[in-house]
Amino acid sequence: MQENARITAKDNPSVKHYKRLRDQKKARRTEGLFVVEGLRIACDALQKTGRVQQLFVTDTAWEKHGEALAAQMQETGRLLRISDAVGETMADTGHTQGVFAICRIPVQRELSTVLREDGKYLVLSNLQDPGNMGMILRTADALGADAILTVGSCELYSPKVVRATMGSVFRVPVYDCPDAQELLAVLHQARIHTYAAVPAKQAVPVTDCSFTGGSAVWIGNEGNGLAPEVIAGCQTAVTIPMQGGPESLNAAMAAGILLWEMMRNGG
């Protein structure tokens, strides 16, 4: 681990680099890097060997957590101490904890090489709300899903999504797929049964599904649900039986219920 001199200039190149990655999706994609803010999520990142490229700690945070953070840094990372004023310019939250990190995005493997015949997966199709994305990752982490697959959904490594995952971004494999029909074909070739989550009375109640063997449940857009061609391409339409007035549930809530049933009845 390298420790550089204390940074007090807001236009320091390392600070500017952090801000660029914070603000620009193109920069994150091009460089294969993303940022995290907060003590807990930075510690989660530090537990993954080689994920943290740079760690920034303000003077105030250093007094509280400096020694512990320095002890967790990998040999290849750099620890940069910054003034509180510089930390305020880097913050993307109202009350910053003064701990920031630049992390490496893992190289995505070919999906067909990692799917398991008995695997349990959620597919997020055109999901656009960062809070929903983050909450679904947290739920998948808690319940033990094998991976999250995304198609046309919001960017996983945007600061809002990363923050909403509460560290699960470092524990749940996520694979971004360019085309829904191609993904359906890959899943079927891997002998993974596909389920389209729909608010339709004619669909199979989730409580009646066994989810034995490989299973992938598709969750659609918050406002429009799944595209008709995706529903047609899935092998089973599944629904959550509901009482009362609501016609559908929040995407993250629905995903949690479906994932719970998939893991409970997975066999």
pLDDT of residue 1: 43
Name the region of 45 (left: φ>0; alpha: ψ -120 to 50; beta: rest). alpha
Residue 27: how many CB atoms within 10 A of its CB? Answer: 15
Give the pLDDT of residue 218: 98
pLDDT in tens, the chain (267 residues): 445 568 999 999 999 999 999 999 999 999 999 999 999 999 999 988 778 999 999 999 999 998 888 888 755 568 999 999 999 999 998 889 999 999 999 988 899 889 999 999 999 999 999 999 999 999 999 999 999 999 999 999 999 999 999 999 999 999 999 999 999 999 999 999 999 999 888 899 999 998 999 999 999 998 889 999 999 999 999 999 887 656 667 899 999 999 999 999 876
Q: Between vectors from CA 89 to CA 86 and to CA 91, what angle results, nearest 5°?
A: 110
Q: Which of 55, 58, 82 is nearest to 69 (CA)?
A: 55
**122 phi and psi, to 5 degrees?**
-110, 140
221 exposure class (CB count in 10 Å sphere: 0-12, 13-18, 19+):
middle
Tell me which residue of 16, 23, 2 sits closest to 81, measured CA to CA.
Answer: 2
Query: Phi and psi at residue 78, in whole multiples of 5°?
Result: -120, 135
DSSP, res 221: B
Q: What amino acid occupies position 251?
A: A
At residue 226's C-alpha, the angle toward residues 222 and 229, to 5°, is 160
Cα–Cα distance for residue pair 54/37, rounded to 1 Å: 12
